[in-house]
Each structure stands twice: as structure tokens, then as C-alpha cells.
């Protein structure tokens, strides 16, 4: 099924007599889903773009690349730097903006600019009964009623199928610089990144790539970037690399390039940054990449590893992003939550999707 309009999509959901596998580009979801494929790429197109108001509204099936090109033509971009996960997950396909929102995909700049859900200002979606629902709108300041925009982001289609999304965007800065500090161990790197992020110099990327270096990104007007880079260098040491290489480096961090083509399972941790080195030390992983100043850690493990069991409790949570189907059948992709919160989540899914047709079982 490939609806071309919101109304057709609503009909398709209302008329579903079994599980639906929601598919934008198929580039992000944890694993293959059973059920009739509902192809969402037919709902495509930018509907409104006001650069002077930093506002873009687009149908959810619009390719991410098209959204990015549209914004770039006006010197603007999505602030939260969504990743291209095809290399990591071994997928082909065209990522849609709806898929980005459904996964709340947020890259290195999340550490300063916020996550996808922080730039998202409005949604339209079709719930599991086929009803069309809107929340938020096209203005940044909106506290009218409950914030379902935040609830829908990251819900992986389990509460509703996105048909339209609205973002507050930001300008593409004039210049960038990346300070590279070599030879820090993990604890030293997290400490250095913490100092950088706690400084007034507006760091927009803080990553530690063991064996390659610790990287801090600055963006803005050229003089401002040069000034701030100098201040950070005085604080932490290191050298700024050629600006022409910045984009490729941060894309590699964003897309977890070190794990591309590497066998093993991929886990993504969200945790208290200062706890990260200790957690990594316990993980026994084969590959590590720190992002968000240590607030996000990517781990490559032996296939089938129950990382959560191995780590025990830690201040944060672990998501299983890439694993064989038999592992995904055995280990939940998303961190199991305490009973009452799990019950609330189940209750929300039951009310938004009473028949359980929207990606059932994906999140619990």
C-alpha cells in the first residue's frame, strides 16, 4: 500500500485488518517488521518554507535529502543533524523526514542545538483508528494543550503515522573549526569535553574517537569562530584542523563510520557523561565511539551480547540498534522500563492504537 494523500493513508490504517509495517525509507528502524508494508514515501513535498521565520513544514514522506537541499538553498538547515544510518545498518533506501522524526534521530549537534524533538514544532498524524490528529503548529512558542509533538517524536510509529511535520530551522553558519586533541584516554577525553561544553564558547560538537582523537566543533561567523577556537585551545591544548575536513569528520561521527562494515552488534547508550568511561570499561566492547561529550556512546559488541545484563544498572539506558533477527527476538531493542512507566507506555499505545496495528511489538 502506498497512499498518496493523508486521507488515503487514514483509510488504509482504518481498514487494516492486521499488523502494519510502517516504512519511510526503511533506513532506521531496528529490525524487520512483520505485517503488511505501508509505504509512506508517497506523502511527499515541502508545503511551506519561510526562511525569515525559520519555519519549514513538509509532508512526512519527503526525502530527508530534499528537505536539506531546500533549506540549504536559503542558507539554513535542520539544527539537530540527523544521521545517515545506511552504512551502519547495511540498508539501502531513501530516508524520509518522517522516519527521522519517528526515530527522534539526532546527531552530534544535539549537544548544543537540542534533539530532533526540540526543533519539531508541529505534527499531523493518523492514529491507529485511522483518525487524523494535529498538534503543535508552525510557531515556536506554543503551549496550547498537551504537547503530543514531543510524544510522537521517537515513538517509531507506534502511536500514529506521521503525515506532516513542522520544524524551527537555523541558519548555516559562515564558518566552522574543529579542535582536535590527541592522545587522551577515555576519562581524560570526557573531562576535556566537559570543560569545553561548560565554557562560554558555544561548542556544537564534542566527540571522542579512541585512536583518532578528541574533537570539539565551533560554528558561527568567521572572526567569532577563530576567537573561540583560540580560547579553547588555550584551555585544552590541541590544534584546529583544516576547516575543509570538518564536514567529513563530523559526518563520520554522525553516521558512526568506525563501525561500518564491521561484524557485531551495535548498541547506542544515552548516559550521564561522567559515567561513560566507567561504563565503557565494563562493556567489553570491540568498538567505541563517544559523542555528545560522552552523553552518547556507540558500542560494537560480539553478536548476541546482552549488554544490559553485562553492564547492570547505570545512569542512562541502552538501545540495541543493529543485531541479527534472532538476537532482536531475544533482547528488546529498547531499554525495558520500570513497571509503572512501562504500564503508562503500554496504556498510551493501547489508546492511540487499540487494535495494535501500528508496528506492534516494536517498542514493548
Residue pair 266/331 in contact (Cβ under 8 Å)? The answer is no
- Only one of the segments 11-19, 22-30, 91-99, 292-300 lies at the binding site for other proteins (rule: CB under 8 A); that segment is 292-300
- Determine the size of the site formed for other proteins (CB under 8 A): 81
* Min separation Cβ 261 and other proteins, Å: 27
Residue in 81, 89, 91, 106 with CA at minimum distance from that of residue 25: 91
* Min separation Cβ 274 and other proteins, Å: 5
Q: Which is nearer to other proteins, 224 or 327 (CB)?
A: 224
Residue pair 57/164 in contact (Cβ under 8 Å)? The answer is yes
- Tell me: does residue 327 bind other proteins (CB under 8 A): no
- Tell me: does residue 90 bind other proteins (CB under 8 A): no
* Min separation Cβ 130 and other proteins, Å: 10
- Tell me: does residue 295 bind other proteins (CB under 8 A): yes
* Min separation Cβ 94 and other proteins, Å: 25
Residues of span 302-321 touching other proteins by CB under 8 A: 315-317, 319
What is the largest distance, in Å, between two alpha-carbon atoms of the chain? 64
Q: Which is nearer to other proteins, 131 or 243 (CB)?
A: 131
- Tell me: does residue 114 bind other proteins (CB under 8 A): yes
Residues of span 4-63 touching other proteins by CB under 8 A: 50-55
What are the φ and ψ backbone dihedral angles of 164, each rounded to 5 degrees? -150, 140
Out of 14, 46, 194, 252, the only residue in the binding site for other proteins (CB under 8 A) is 194
Out of 37, 45, 341, 361, the only residue in the binding site for other proteins (CB under 8 A) is 341
Residues of span 124-183 touching other proteins by CB under 8 A: 127, 131-135, 137-151, 153-155, 159, 170-174
- Only one of the segments 12-20, 89-97, 239-247, 331-339 lies at the binding site for other proteins (rule: CB under 8 A); that segment is 331-339
Residues of span 222-281 touching other proteins by CB under 8 A: 223-224, 227, 270-274
Residues of 41-78 as b/e, b for ≥16 C-beta within 10 angstroms? bebbebeebeeeebbbbbbbbbbbebbeebbeeeebbb
* Min separation Cβ 159 and other proteins, Å: 8
Q: Which is nearer to other proteins, 27 or 104 (CB)?
A: 104
* Min separation Cβ 149 and other proteins, Å: 8
Q: How far is 170 from 51, CA to CA, in rounded Å?
A: 9
- Only one of the segments 208-216, 256-264, 280-288, 337-345 lies at the binding site for other proteins (rule: CB under 8 A); that segment is 337-345
Residue in 113, 141, 151 with CA at minimum distance from that of residue 345: 151
Q: Which is nearer to other proteins, 216 or 363 (CB)?
A: 363
**Residue listed under C-alpha cell 551502519:** 88
**Residue listed under C-alpha cell 551480547:** 305
* Min separation Cβ 105 and other proteins, Å: 11
Residues 6 or more apart whose CB falls under 8 angstroms from that of 37 comprise 1, 20, 21, 23
Amino acid at each position: 500500500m502506498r497512499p498518496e494523500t493523508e486521507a488515503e493513508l487514514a483509510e488504509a490504517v482504518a481498514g487494516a485488518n492486521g499488523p502494519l509495517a510502517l516504512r519511510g525509507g526503511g533506513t532506521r528502524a531496528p529490525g524487520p517488521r512483520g505485517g503488511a508494508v505501508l509505504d509512506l514515501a508517497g506523502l511527499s513535498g515541502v508545503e511551506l518554507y519561510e526562511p525569515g521565520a525559520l519555519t519549514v513544514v513538509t509532508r512526512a514522506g519527503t526525502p530527508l535529502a530534499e528537505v536539506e537541499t531546500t533549506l540549504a538553498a536559503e542558507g539554513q538547515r535542520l539544527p539537530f543533524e540527523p544521521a545517515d544510518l545506511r552504512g551502519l545498518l547495511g540498508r539501502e533506501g531513501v530516508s524520509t523526514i518522517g522516519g527521522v522524526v519517528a526515530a527522534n534521530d539526532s546527531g552530534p549537534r544535539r549537544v548544543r542545538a537540542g534533539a530532533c524533538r526540540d526543533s519539531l514544532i508541529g505534527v499531523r498524524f493518523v492514529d491507529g483508528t485511522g483518525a487524523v490528529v494535529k498538534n503543535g503548529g508552525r510557531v515556536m512558542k506554543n503551549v496550547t494543550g498537551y504537547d503530543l509533538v514531543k510524544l510522537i517524536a521517537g515513538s517509531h510509529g507506534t502511536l500514529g503515522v506521521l503525515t506532516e511535520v513542522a520544524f524551527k530551522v537555523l541558519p548555516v553558519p559562515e564558518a566552522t573549526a574543529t579542535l582536535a586533541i590527541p592522545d587522551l584516554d577515555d576519562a581524560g577525553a570526557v573531562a576535556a569535553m566537559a570543560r569545553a561544553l561548560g565554557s562560554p564558547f558555544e561548542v556544537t560538537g564534542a566527540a571522542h574517537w579512541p585512536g583518532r582523537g578528541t574533537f570539539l566543533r565551533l560554528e558561527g561567523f568567521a572572526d567569532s569562530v577563530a576567537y573561540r577556537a583560540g580560547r579553547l585551545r588555550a584551555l585544552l591544548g590541541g590544534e584546529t584542523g583544516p576547516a575543509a575536513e570538518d564536514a567529513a569528520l563530523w559526518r563520520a561521527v554522525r553516521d558512526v563510520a568506525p563501525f561500518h562494515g564491521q561484524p557485531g552488534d551495535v548498541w547506542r547508550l544515552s548516559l550521564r557523561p561522567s559515567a561513560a568511561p566507567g561504563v565503557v570499561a565494563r562493556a567489553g566492547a570491540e568498538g567505541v565511539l563517544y559523542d555528545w561529550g560522552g552523553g552518547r556512546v556507540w558500542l560494537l559488541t560480539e553478536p548476541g551480547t546482552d549488554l544490559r545484563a553485562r553492564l547492570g544498572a547505570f545512569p542512562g539506558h541502552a538501545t540495541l540498534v543493529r543485531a541479527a533477527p534472532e538476537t532482536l527476538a531475544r533482547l528488546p531493542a529498547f531499554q525495558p522500563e520500570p513497571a509503572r512507566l512501562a504500564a503508562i507506555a503500554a496504556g498510551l499505545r493501547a489508546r492511540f492504537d487499540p487494535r495494535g496495528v501500528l508496528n506492534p511489538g516494536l517498542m514493548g
